[in-house]
Structure 1
Amino acid sequence: MAPFEALYGRRCRTPLCWYESGESAVVGPEIVQQTTEKIKMIQEKMRIAQSRQKSYHDKRRKSLEFQEGDHILERIGEVAYRIALPPSLANLHEVFHVSQLRRYIPDPSHVVQVDDVQVRDNLTVETSPMRIEDRELKQLRGKEIALVKVAWGGPAGGNVTWELESQMKESYPELFA
């Protein structure tokens, strides 16, 4: 018994032809010719498929060239450009392939107004409550706790949280008038 057969309980198949060991296979000029013809047919079909995909791509492709100046700092080679990025995107690489770029059509609605946000030393911003949206009494270990749902304004506006009514009355009495 062969070592492979002893280990795996079956006969070894060679990786070249995948014939069972011990089987006789006739390898002659006919099989070589058939294999060569099949390889040529596969190569031709791959060429046809590649050509079809290229024609699909070429129909949609637009040749783009940009000029140095407006947002484009310089052209690097035939298909790459170094562009001017805002400071908020400083962590990105500034060189892009032309396929990743589009012509910009100026639009005033694209200009975003930046709020003047004052950040404290502990990296928090000041928010203020805008209104009380709801009230609720919670039972906790036999005690009733009054809560209010507060809508907050400020730079991070749009937040809504549940707060203790007593603390909110103490800090912001104008909300309860």
Structure 2
Amino acid sequence: MKRDVATFVAKCLICQQVKIEHQRASGLLQQLDIPVWKRDEISMDFVTGLPPTQRRHDAVWVVVDRLTKSAHFLPIRKDYSVSRLAEIFQQEIVRLHGTPSVIASDRDPRFASRFWKGLQKA
């Protein structure tokens, strides 16, 4: 069976594309300092690939306070515009907790400079 799996993986195009040797090496991990105040530093990311809800939400935007680890889970759609995401951030995070001084995220395209410009306009 082990030989069959190895043969299948060797012939599978998707398996070869996502193989670790074919991916760009990420940089060294950077340790984040421990925040001093709650809600001063947050981390955020998206959970996608979910089945749509009745309101057609198919993703969750997760915003976590880095000190207390309390989290907001915001239902969104993958196709929301950057300006819509900035509106949601203002309504759900800034309105309740104020503007954080540090926002950590991965390199998701949604967090490109367009999001930050949209956030400043909102």
Shorter-chain TM range is under 0.3
Q: Which structure has greater helix proportion?
A: 2
TM (norm. structure 2) is: 0.27
Structure showing greater relative contact order (alpha-carbon pairs closer than 8 Å, 6 or more residues apart) = 2
Structure whose CA Rg is larger = 1
